[in-house]
Amino acid sequence: MEYITSRTPWRALAILLALTGHVEAQEARIRLEEPVDGKVASGITNIRGWAIASQGIEVIEIFLDGQFAFEVPYGGERKDVESAYPDVTGSLKSGFGQTLNYASLSRGAHTVTARAITSTGVYIEDTAQFTVSGLPKEFYPEDSSPSLRGATVSIDADQEEIVIQNLTVSESEPVRVVLAWQVASQSFQIQRVGDDTDESLGVSRTDPIGCDYADTTTNNQASLSITSTASWACDEVSRDLVANGIPDHEVGTFPNRNNPNTISAQTVRAALTLTPRLSDVTTFMGGPTGTTGYVLNGVKIDAGTAGSCFSANNCSLSNPRGSWHIEALGQPHFDFGDDFNHAHVQPGGAYHYHGIPEGFLTKIGALGADMALIGWAADGFPIYARWGYNNPQDARSGVKVIRASYELVQTVPADRPSTDLYQLGTFAEDWQYRVGSGDLDQCNGRFGVTPEFPLGIYHYYATDTYPYFQRCVTGTL
């Protein structure tokens, strides 16, 4: 359900109608046609598509990398849409679009969401992932425009690309530029600048960042006397972790009343790609489906639990087969015996994090308002904790506490155990992702610059609210 904002006052009436049930069934569809999902965008071209609704479309909003960007003009003539949906009033005037300077975005991977809001307050969305490529600057005046003097042009027939070698850009070294025909824009657009592994696409490799991280910490705690060891190293293709899974910071009391397990050494081996790439498929992980990532100290991230409820009076903290899956954090009804690091111990002795590893932040000195790289996800992208730049594309914009984009459901399913017994937020199913409600995407990530990756990279966050750590990865596994 949409919330009321001052930017669009007409929503208040629409939402009131929706909340009071005075909304008739309607057909509503939206299609984002450009930028093309999974393709490259460059230069000044379009952002466009179409949307229809039986009760009419009030506005089209565009979100870039999860943040509201602008409202786009609506009402362009689309005879093809009218032919496909002749019974929907207004389908002829259903197009939306305007030009967008993609060069104003940082080079690399981005997401765009087009949201259409109907006159009854219903919203529909379509999202695309695209990669921005282009020359180093957003705009070249006439006296410094790229020069073809001394350049050569060839045709790559197999890839259907035009290759320009030795293009001179301002006072920089000559570069290699690859052009390809784009159906959506009906023009040749820059696909790559430099060779196929050039950093102009944001980040092609994540090394050498973190390739020499190694730590040995002696523990002398009541619940932990095993020395923690963790070592990360990189070869040509992978970032390799060898660790014993023992935390390198203060822990709570284990075993305890609600977690009867003792921390023990594990055999931790992981090989993560050094060339992470966003995928068209979102992969949910955790528990038996695989580890979502590791903190630098070698302790794994596993945000979900094996607890679930079959009904109000039939719940188990170790049986995941129920329909309502219990959250470890943010609810007062079930105690999983987690400590102040939002972590506890599995039956096999594996200490693991459900949320922000506070003790590790203390160890690395990340106690203030700074971006802190704390780990690596299963798809090879980095993980940061709590703080990020106000403007994800500008390292000079200051930092803020990053907000996840999940909200409690507005309508409680009839078969859910009563909220009188278990307040909303107790179960994973109580949460819904809503684009634009926070700073991050469905997997608790976003694209932007970071201290380690000033050209920009997709990266995840550990947040103070659900989902705490990512439950899915957006990169190729």
Domain 11-132 grouped into CATH 2.60.40.650 = yes
Q: Which segment of 78-92, 154-168, 210-224 scores lowest on mean pLDDT? A: 154-168
Asked if 256 contacts 337 with a C-beta cutoff of 8 angstroms, the reply is: yes
What is the pLDDT, as a whole number, of residue 197? 38
Separation of alpha carbons 190 and 213, rounded Å: 37
The domain locations on the chain are 11-132, 142-201, 214-475
Q: Which one, of 375, 393, 395, lies nearest residue 384 by Cα?
A: 375
Question: Residue 145's pLDDT is what?
Answer: 80
- Is the model's pLDDT at 170 over the cut of 50? yes
Contacting residues for 288 by C-beta, under 8 A, at least 6 apart: none
Side chain identity at 394, as an amino acid letter? Answer: D
Worst-scoring range by mean pLDDT, 38-42, 157-161, 225-229? 157-161
Closest CA to 136 of 457, 455, 458, 459: 455
What is the tens place of the pLDDT at every residue in 401-450?
A: 999 999 999 999 999 999 999 999 999 999 999 888 999 999 999 988 89
Residue 181's pLDDT band, with cuts at 50, 70 and 90, is: confident
Q: Give the separation between CA 436 and CA 60, rounded to whole angstroms.
A: 14
The pair phi, psi for residue 356, each rounded to 5°, is -55, 125
131 pLDDT tier (thresholds 50, 70, 90)? confident
Element (H, E) at 15: helix 11-19
User: Is residue 205 scored above 50 in pLDDT?
Assistant: yes
Higher pLDDT among residues 66 and 344, named by residue: 344
- Decide: residue 24, CB within 10 A, 0-12 exposed, 13-18 middle, 19+ buried: exposed
pLDDT higher than threshold 70 for residue 250: yes
- Give the per-residue pLDDT at 9: 43
30-34, 146-150, 453-457: segment of lowest average pLDDT: 146-150
pLDDT in tens, 274-287: 999 888 788 999 99
pLDDT at 220 > cutoff 90: yes
pLDDT value, residue 436:
84
| H-run or E-run covering 79 | helix 79-84
**CA neighbor of 254 nearest in space, from 246, 242, 262:** 262
pLDDT given at position 22: 44
* pLDDT tops 70 at residue 18: no
Q: What is the mean pLDDT of residues 36-40?
A: 85
State the pLDDT at residue 190.
82
pLDDT of residue 219: 98
CA 198, distance to chain mean position in Å, is 23
Amino acid letter, residue 398: G
Residues β-bridged to residue 190:
179
**What does pLDDT average to over the chain?**
87
Q: Is the pTM of this model over 0.75?
A: no
pLDDT at 227: 98
